[in-house]
């Protein structure tokens, strides 16, 4: 450990995982601004999901799964709030009050026996078979991130050929909403 005048405190702070949701103007370069801010200051993006949510007001919702010390997380929120196209920043606690989901499309290519095994593995999760041939199937799964991690691990020996994931999205439970302004 370097004991220095110009490094941060030597005591190691705990790393927390958070979901940061940002409402932004859907304009050119806005994603680059948000993502560039993270890389420029050395912060982490574990996953990122973004799409327009209000066509009329031209607003996109960006959901960022991130991890950092409490001080870093505080900086992320305050610095994001300073960006001109950002309307609102919300920190979703990853506790029981928040709903979190990630969607994955998984393609399994294998023998008939293994395909059947793979299908059984999927049964544990909420799934839909979207495409099926004699040699393969594509399944859609919507679940928690760790559940998808788990499923992918199980499908790998059974011929998982391709995986596509959306990254986590989140919503608060109950009637409470984060108001945009």
Partner 1 sequence: MTGAEMVFKALEDQGVRHIFGYPGGAVLPIYDELKNHKKIKHILVRHEQGAGHAAEGYARSSGKPGVILVTSGPGATNTVTALTDAYMDSVPLVCITGQVPTHLIGTDAFQECDTTGITRPCTKHNWLVKDIEKLSSILHKAFEVATSGRPGPVLVDIPKDIQFAKGKYVRPKESKKNSGRADVKFNGKNKDIEAAVELFKKSSKPILYTGGGVINSGPKATQLLRELVSLTGFPITSTLQGLGAFPGYDQQFLGMLGMHGTFEANNAMHDCDLMINIGARFDDRITGKIDEFSPKSKKIHIDIDPSSINKNIAVDLALVGDVKIILEKLILALKKKNPNFINSNKQRIAAWWNQIEKWRKKNSLSFVNSKEIIKPQFAVQRLYELTKAQDVFITTEVGQHQMWAAQHYKFDKPNRWMTSGGLGTMGYGLPAAVGVQVANPGKLVIDIAGEASVLMTMQEMSTAVQYKLPIKIFILNNEYMGMVRQWQEILHDKNYSESYTAALPDFVKLAEAYGCVGIRANKPEELDEKIKHMITVNKPVIFDCVVDKEENCYPMIPSGKPHNQMLLGSKDEEEEEVSEEGKILV
What residues between 83 and 112 interact with partner 1 by CB under 8 A?
83-84
* Nearer of residues 79 and 136 to partner 1, judged by Cβ: 79
* Chosen residue from 78, 99, 130, 171 binding partner 1 by CB under 8 A: 78
Element containing residue 99 per DSSP (H, E): strand 98-109
**Diameter over CA atoms, the chain:** 65
* Nearer of residues 38 and 127 to partner 1, judged by Cβ: 38
With tokens 């990254």, the residue in question is 167
Buried residues in 89-100 as b, exposed as e (16+ CB within 10 A): bbebeeeeeeeb
CB of 21 to partner 1, least distance (A): 18
What residues between 26 and 65 interact with partner 1 by CB under 8 A?
28-29, 32-33, 36-37, 40
Tokens of residue 119, six digits: 């299908």
CB of 73 to partner 1, least distance (A): 11
81 binds partner 1 (CB under 8 A): yes
Handedness of CA 133, 134, 138, 143 (dihedral sign): positive
CB of 130 to partner 1, least distance (A): 36
75 binds partner 1 (CB under 8 A): yes
CB of 15 to partner 1, least distance (A): 18
Whether the CB-CB separation of 23 and 63 falls below 8 Å is answered with no
With tokens 């009050």, the residue in question is 97
Of 78-86, 91-99, 112-120, 125-133: span binding partner 1 (CB under 8 A): 78-86
Whether the CB-CB separation of 109 and 127 falls below 8 Å is answered with no
Residues listed for the chain: 181
Contacts to partner 1 by CB under 8 A: 2-10, 28-29, 32-33, 36-37, 40, 71, 74-75, 78-79, 81-84
């Amino acid at each position: 450990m370097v004991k220095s005048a110009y490094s941060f405190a030597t005591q190691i702070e705990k790393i927390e995982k958070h979901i940061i949701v940002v409402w932004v103007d859907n304009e050119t370069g806005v994603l680059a601004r948000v993502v560039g801010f993270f890389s420029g200051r050395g912060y982490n993006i574990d996953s990122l999901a973004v799409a327009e949510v209000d066509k009329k007001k031209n607003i996109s919702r960006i959901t960022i799964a991130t991890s950092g010390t409490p001080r870093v997380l505080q900086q992320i929120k305050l610095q994001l709030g300073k960006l001109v196209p950002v309307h609102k920043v919300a920190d979703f606690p990853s506790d029981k009050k928040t709903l979190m989901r990630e969607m994955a499309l998984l393609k399994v290519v294998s023998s008939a026996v293994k395909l059947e095994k793979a299908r059984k593995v999927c049964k544990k999760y909420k799934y839909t078979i979207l495409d099926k041939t004699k040699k393969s199937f594509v399944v859609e799964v919507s679940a928690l991130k760790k559940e998808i991690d788990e499923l992918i691990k199980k499908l790998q020996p059974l011929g998982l050929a391709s995986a596509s994931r959306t990254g986590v999205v989140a919503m608060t439970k109950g009637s409470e909403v984060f108001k945009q302004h």
